[in-house]
Amino acid sequence: MNWWKALLTWPHLLHVYLKMGSMTKKVLKDPTLVSEGKRYIWLKKKTKYFRWLYDVKVVAHDINNWPKHKGCVLVANHQSNFDFIILLSLNDYSLYAPLGFIAKSELKQNKLARRFVFLIDVLFIDRKDPRSALETFKEAQDLIRNPGRTMVIFPEGTRSHKQEMNEFKPGALKLAYQAYVPILPVSIVNSYQIFDKKFRGKKTIHVVFNKALDPKQFMHLPSNKLASQIQNTIKASIDQWDNKK
């Protein structure tokens, strides 16, 4: 975080923090108290502020590969906690289905994360309970189809904190098989630098929207081969934009 910016705008930062908490309390009490549209639009607007606060410039490549006006499964590498903000900031609701996320259940216990994860469609998986994945994927299928969501999955299972990816877990891709929707492989480049003290000044994050896979292209593939194929696609774009401004 750029601390002089935080000090300069601390009243606004405090307002955002308190507003998130207030809206979350209302949503947990009764989701109809704050409309879904209002929550998504408010959070998207705030992503611009947080990008400025952390000196982050985001450059999107080939975003037209994002399937328009329909649900899909967005599969991305995961370098830092800022990845959520980066993807939300690029989500144009007039063109693409709003983002939903599948995240580990531990996120619900994080005091800061709790202030926003309940404002949008974030579904949780308890990694100690295999049944929770089945239930979560069933709920995710419903969201993809109605009202229409781009569900984000990070198949590494956790942040890598580096440019190199951890191995993709094939089980994370079962949602795409079950929902029978396109898979959009997305490469997030350099976001690990945002919280690394070795990297000072403005950080340029490249987000590459690789060509989407139609269900007919992967339904016949075993999940381990599909995971390897998608990981190789994402890696190729990371290598192309590695540390470029």
Give all domains of the chain, ordered by start, each with its CATH number.
Answer: 3-241 (3.40.1130)
Q: What is the pLDDT of residues 170-221, one digit of tens each?
A: 988 999 999 999 999 999 999 999 998 888 888 999 999 999 999 999 999 9
- Higher-confidence residue of 42 and 134: namely 42
Q: What is the pLDDT of residues 10-25, one digit of tens each?
A: 999 999 999 999 999 9
- Is the predicted pLDDT of residue 164 greater than 90, yes or no? yes
pTM: 0.92
Distance CA 23, CA 223 (A): 39
Length of the chain: 245
Query: C-alpha dihedral over 78, 82, 85, 88, to 10 degrees?
Result: -10
Q: What is the pLDDT of residues 94-134, one digit of tens each?
A: 999 999 999 887 777 777 777 788 899 889 888 777 777 88
Q: List Cβ neighbours of 158 (8 Å cut-off, separation of 6 or more).
A: 78, 104, 166
Q: How many other C-beta atoms are found inside a 10 Å radius of the C-beta of residue 167?
A: 11
Specify the pLDDT at position 14: 93
Distance CA 35, CA 225 (A): 41
